[in-house]
Amino acid sequence: MNSNNDPNDNELFEQYPQQKEGLREILSQIAIQSSADQVSLRKALARYMQEALGKSYQTEPDGIVDLIRERDLFRDSDALVDLGAGPGDLLERLAPLYPAMRMRGIDLSPGFVTDFNRRNIYPNTRMDVGLIDTPLSGIDSNNRTSAMSVLTLDRLAQPRIVLENMAQFTRAKILATLLPIIPEDDNPSR
């Protein structure tokens, strides 16, 4: 690492040799961001890569799954996009509830994405490496797509309001990004 603890590309490739393709993809997306955002994103990438490798990232999707089921938030959706899907726990919990819905997760960590796709538990569910504010490809304009992000929800005092707002994107032909660059602070007390 350099003096700013900002990992350079070669250090990441050496540390995660099995993730070279995903790292190249995400690093190319990071490279077009502002200099300040690049520093923050590289630090987040290094942290999430380590969490994926060590299986130390913990999510608790039960409350969110219960809220989605109770409110039937995705009843008119053909597809769901989870921005910042982490290890894909939420997608795995939602897939049996909505077996016909195509689900796609986007995450910064190639390790999370590779592990999720390797398990291939539900055929209509997959994850891709990417920044959450990068325009999404492969979303058919005729689809009724819903978007959500636990990445946001676990940092807000009122996640119900965010879910309800995001549910308004059902039937949207354009999926809008609701978050800026991934936050550097992962304080769960927020």
* Architecture of the domain spanning 62-167: 3-Layer(aba) Sandwich (3.40)
Name the residue among 50, 104, 95 with its Cα closest to residue 68.
95
What would the mean pLDDT of 175-183 be, rounded to a whole number? 39
Least confident window among 42-56, 124-138, 141-155, 171-185: 171-185
Residue 121: pLDDT band by 50, 70, 90 thresholds? confident
- The number of residues making up the chain comes to 190
- pLDDT in the model for residue 95: 93
The residue with greater pLDDT, 31 or 166, is: 31
Instruction: Please give the radius of gyration of the chain, using alpha carbons only, rounded to the nearest integer.
Output: 16
Q: How far is CA 166 from each of CA 61, 114, 178, 180, rounded to the nearest angstrom?
A: 17, 27, 8, 15
Residue 113: pLDDT band by 50, 70, 90 thresholds? very high
Query: Which of 74-88, 97-111, 123-137, 157-171 has the largest mean confidence?
Result: 97-111
Average pLDDT of the chain to the nearest whole number: 75
- Give percent above pLDDT 70 in the chain: 67
Question: CA 24, CA 9: separation in Å to the nearest integer?
Answer: 9
78 phi and psi angles, rounded to 5 deg = -95, -20
Give pLDDT tens digits for 44-59.
888 888 888 877 777 7
Is the pLDDT assigned to residue 116 strictly greater than 90?
Answer: yes
What would the mean pLDDT of 135-150 be, rounded to a whole number? 66
- pLDDT in the model for residue 184: 42
Confidence (pTM): 0.74
Q: How far is CA 70 from each of CA 73, 82, 144, rounded to the nearest angstrom?
A: 8, 19, 20
